[in-house]
């Protein structure tokens, strides 16, 4: 799976018929006319334990590349060379968001930049191996909304959202018999989100709260998640294998602080189950599978299904290439009367190559292209102005070593 990219988009809609515009919930009764609605949109691109940018979704096959468990992702990855291996992964991610809007209430394309780093180590055991890794993720999302009021005032709402997470993951892999290998993982993740917004009026208008043409809002929230996951691989013939994935629900729902105290901060995943069939030979691997995630109001995820395929082969004895494709569909989610997540569909294309350099050292480069489109909630007030699409590309680098 690819990593997790979270964009926090707060849309504030206000109307006023006064050259002096008031703000703040405690002053609503003093305003001549005001309508405010807050739509909190969380773009969970992929939610799986843990966030794995360099890895490609796979369940039934083991990679032909030399990777640590951290670089490989959530599939069985036997320790076949040496007694241990280690890895360092780094990804640079650039994304943008487009909106459906009107001339009197318009949005620029949101800009998203993120980086992801991971360090992993595997060590051999008598009937398998243990793995441990640390990862950190940092993201900044920025967008501007321009709103024209009926009295001629215009306002620019400049919003910046910062998201940070750190994760510690441990995996134990054991071979049960000649055909079946199983692994269990536990991940401890700390997440923090911050929002800062500056509203600037033009045409000589001022905000009552500040007496100037600017005002500022901010808020922060955090979550701590403990995630569990089990995955396995079973040989069903000389070349064919079956892979299985199971992850219980792990969600957190809290409130932002300060000016966004009425806004929910949701993190985590719904119950996940998956299966895949793959073929492995000495020089070629291919696989197809399905992963289903149930809706979770705590994490803010509508029910989702992922259909994925991958192909991996040797170009020569020192070069392995990989191509993968994932198609996903998710349903809208409501929590009571609150719209939480729009229905959406997305696709992910992954291309990667690993090279053998000095004995035991294997550099890797991977390129991912992600496109996501959003549907409607089904009511005109929510759908007239909305997020329409999100896309990103990331370039990832890794160095794996066995010793």
pLDDT grade for 221, boundaries at 50, 70 and 90: very high
Coil, strand or helix at 357: coil
What is the mean predicted confidence (pLDDT) over 100-117? 89
Q: How far apart are the first and last CA of the chain?
A: 27
Q: Is the confidence at residue 59, as pLDDT, over 70?
A: yes
What confidence score (pLDDT) does residue 331 get?
Answer: 96
Tokens at residue 186, please?
A: 């536990």
What is the mean predicted confidence (pLDDT) over 313-330? 95
pLDDT in tens, 175-189: 999 999 999 999 999
What confidence score (pLDDT) does residue 219 get?
Answer: 96
Within 8 A by CB and 6+ apart from 186, the residues are: 169, 170, 226, 227, 228, 229
Report the 10 Å Cβ neighbour count for 319: 12
The answer to whether the beta carbons of residues 200 and 214 sit under 8 Å apart is yes
Query: Mean pLDDT of all residues in the chain?
Result: 85
Q: Is the confidence at residue 102, as pLDDT, over 60?
A: yes
Q: Is the confidence at residue 7, as pLDDT, over 70?
A: no
pLDDT grade for 383, boundaries at 50, 70 and 90: confident
Q: Which of 72, 30, 391, 62 lies closest to 232 in space, CA to CA? A: 62
pLDDT grade for 3, boundaries at 50, 70 and 90: very low
pLDDT grade for 56, boundaries at 50, 70 and 90: low
Q: Which domains does the chain have, with CATH numbers?
A: 8-402 (2.40.160)
How far out from the chain centre does Cα 386 lie? 20
What confidence score (pLDDT) does residue 284 get?
Answer: 97
Q: What's the pTM value of the predicted model, to 2 decimals?
A: 0.86
What confidence score (pLDDT) does residue 55 get?
Answer: 57
Lowest mean pLDDT among 179-188, 345-354, 379-388, 390-399: 379-388
Tokens at residue 24, please?
A: 């703040």
What is the mean predicted confidence (pLDDT) over 100-127? 90
What confidence score (pLDDT) does residue 26 get?
Answer: 32
What confidence score (pLDDT) does residue 31 get?
Answer: 31
Q: What is the percent of the chain with per-residue pLDDT over 90, rounded to a whole number?
A: 70
């Amino acid at each position: 799976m690819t990593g997790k990219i979270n964009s926090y988009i707060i849309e504030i809609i206000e109307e006023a018929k006064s050259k002096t515009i008031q703000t703040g919930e405690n002053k609503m009764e003093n305003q001549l006319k005001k309508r405010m609605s807050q739509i909190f949109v969380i773009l969970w691109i992929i939610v799986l334990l843990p966030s794995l940018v360099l890895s490609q979704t796979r369940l039934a096959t083991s990679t032909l590349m030399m990777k640590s468990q951290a670089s490989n992702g959530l599939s069985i990855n036997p320790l076949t060379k040496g007694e241990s291996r280690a890895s360092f992964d780094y990804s640079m991610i650039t994304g943008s968001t487009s909106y459906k809007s009107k001339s009197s209430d318009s949005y620029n394309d949101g800009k998203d930049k993120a980086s992801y780093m991971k360090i992993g180590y595997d060590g051999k055991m008598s009937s398998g191996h243990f793995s441990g890794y640390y990862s950190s993720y940092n993201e900044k999302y920025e967008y501007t909304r321009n709103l024209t009021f009926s009295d001629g005032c215009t306002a620019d709402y400049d919003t910046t959202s910062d998201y940070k997470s750190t994760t510690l993951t441990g995996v134990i892999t054991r071979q049960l018999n000649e055909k079946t290998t199983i692994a269990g993982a536990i991940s401890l993740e700390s997440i923090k989100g911050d929002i800062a917004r500056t509203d600037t009026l033009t045409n000589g208008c001022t905000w009552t709260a500040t007496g100037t043409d600017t005002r500022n809002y901010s808020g922060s929230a955090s979550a701590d998640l403990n995630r569990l996951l089990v995955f396995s691989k079973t040989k069903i013939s000389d070349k064919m294998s079956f892979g299985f994935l199971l992850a219980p629900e792990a969600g957190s729902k809290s409130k932002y602080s300060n000016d966004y105290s009425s806004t929910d901060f949701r993190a985590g995943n719904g119950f996940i189950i998956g299966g895949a069939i793959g073929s492995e030979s000495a020089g070629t691997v291919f696989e197809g599978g399905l992963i289903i995630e149930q809706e979770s109001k705590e994490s803010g995820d509508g029910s989702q299904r992922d259909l994925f395929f991958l192909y991996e082969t040797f170009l020569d004895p020192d070069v392995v290439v990989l191509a993968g494709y994932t198609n996903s569909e998710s349903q809208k989610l409501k929590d009571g009367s609150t719209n939480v997540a729009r229905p959406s569909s997305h696709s992910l294309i992954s291309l990667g190559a690993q090279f053998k350099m000095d004995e035991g050292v294997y550099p890797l480069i991977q390129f991912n292209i992600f496109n996501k489109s959003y549907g409607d909630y089904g009511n005109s007030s929510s759908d007239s102005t909305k997020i329409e699409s999100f896309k990103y590309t990331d370039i990832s680098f890794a160095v794996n070593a066995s010793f």
